[in-house]
Amino acid sequence: MKAPTVIILTMGMLFCFWQGAKSNSGAEQAAVEAAEVWLELVDKEQYGASWDEAANYFQGAVSREQWLSSMRAVRHPLGQKRSRSLKSKQYFNSLPGAPDGEYVVIQFNTSFEHKLSAVETVTPMKDRDGKWRVSGYYIK
């Protein structure tokens, strides 16, 4: 089965913003941990819970129903996750098309049952309550 390139909600951006990156290892680690917990929900097909746990910005950009529909259409067909390893992480205070704040763009090399090699890009942001939550998700 040939798997198409998959794009699921992201803040109206494709990640073409690597200039302006800063280093903040504490924030990067907290964001990676938040992304991994969130991805567990997606891996278990708990798409509604993944929307519930996403950043306020994410929830304002896509309705819960749109998210469920998108995930069923593009993530579900990939099958079960086989493996996932951290590829990169980068801290930002500003991203195109998004309000200024704290963001970490994280990439994972991921293998799925029906797509052996994929790159997942997950972008947690520090939400209003100070907790890191996912604000964008992209699979290629």
- pLDDT of residue 12 exceeding 70, the answer is no
pTM of the model: 0.83
Q: Domain coordinates of the chain in residue numbers?
A: 25-139
pLDDT value of residue 24: 79
- Could you tell me which residues come within 8 angstroms of residue 21 by beta carbon, excluding any fewer than 6 positions away? 90, 91, 92
pLDDT value of residue 77: 95
| Fold topology of 25-139 | Nuclear Transport Factor 2; Chain: A, (3.10.450)
- pLDDT of residue 70 exceeding 60, the answer is yes
Helices and strands in the chain, H and E counts = 4, 4
- pLDDT of residue 7 exceeding 50, the answer is no
Strands 118-126 and 132-139: antiparallel
pLDDT value of residue 23: 63
Confidence class of residue 89 from pLDDT cuts 50, 70 and 90? Answer: very high
